[in-house]
Structure 1
Amino acid sequence: MMSWLLAAFLVAHGLAHLAVWLPPAPADTEHAAPFAPDHSAVLAATRVPPTTIHRTAVWLAVAAAVAYVVAGLAVALGSGWTVPLVATAAALLGLALKILFFHPWLSLGILFDAAVLVFAVGSWPVALT
């Protein structure tokens, strides 16, 4: 039961990356997100072109989502040794994305990524893999 909950969490967290970073910005400001998901103060300060910044956000979001979904499927299928490896990659991609494009609204996601990283590196509980 716990492994299915973990699998569902990993898949849902991965898909959340797509929901935040992939939709185009609405034309009207009334329905705009509370932050611009493709705005990076770090990359803008280094004079990276806006199109490259946007592409970086999309690629990191897609990579993190794919890695999280694969980690969730690995948990669901009981693929023991692959879970920590893929979950570590997913958490690192998610953290890189949220640090480069930081906004306070992403704090919960940072905590989720950090928790996944701690558990993956510190070895998952045996019952969950």
Structure 2
Amino acid sequence: MPLLPPGASMESTHCCEEATMVWIAGLFLVAHGLIHLAIWLPKADPKAPFDAGHSPFAGNVRHTAAAMAVAAAVVLAAGGLGLIGGASWWPPATITGAALSTARLLLTFNKWWLIALGINAAIIVLSVQQNA
């Protein structure tokens, strides 16, 4: 039997663990949204290994990519805050934010975005499971 604080029960411990995971997941979604702003809003650094505003399909798409990044950031952050607050709309918001992010990653695709595509896929799958 695990050691519990005085007066704590297994149910209360499970509840605390669940609440902690909700906070961690919600803050992850907010941080994931903010990272979009950090990558797509600054001007391109000529020393960077890639240009976040360049599309292999359409050339310079800096303004479009920045607008998509802002939209994804806002929707992902809202989804994260909705998750923390227990709102019923957080799964669709999170799915929409991750879909916007994925569309922007595909528009400006380079090998550096593979991990980000995996993160977005995980966000979408986990959100769909919660929505079911």
TM-score clears 0.5: yes
Aligned partner (choices 22, 32, 44) of residue 25 of structure 1 = 44
Higher RCO, 1 vs 2 (CA within 8 Å, ≥6 residues apart): 1
Q: Cα distance, 1:122 vs. partner?
A: 2.5
Structure 1 unaligned blocks of 5 or more: 45-49
Long gaps (5+) in structure 2: 1-19
1:39-50 correspondence runs (5 A)? 39-44=54-59, 50=60
SS for the counterpart of 1:122 is helix
Aligned counterparts of 2:50 and 2:100: Cα–Cα separation in 1: 20
| 1:71 corresponds to 2:96 | no
Runs of 4+ in 1 over 2 A off after TM superposition: 122-125
Aligned residues: 113
Using the TM superposition, give the Cα deviation of residue 124 of structure 1 relative to its aligned residue in structure 2, in angstroms: 5.3
Alignment partner of 1:11 out of 27, 30, 35 = 30
Aligned equivalents of 2:92 and 2:98: distance in 1? 10
Residues 81-100 of structure 1 show CA distances to partners (whole Å, capped at 9, x for unaligned) of 21111001001001001011
Q: Provide TM-score, normalisation by structure 2.
A: 0.80
1:7 Cα shift?
0.8
Q: Provide the TM-score with structure 1 as the length reference.
A: 0.82
- 1:25 offset after TM fit, Å? 2.2
Q: What value does the CA root-mean-square deviation take over the aligned residues?
A: 1.5
Identical amino acids, percent of aligned pairs: 38
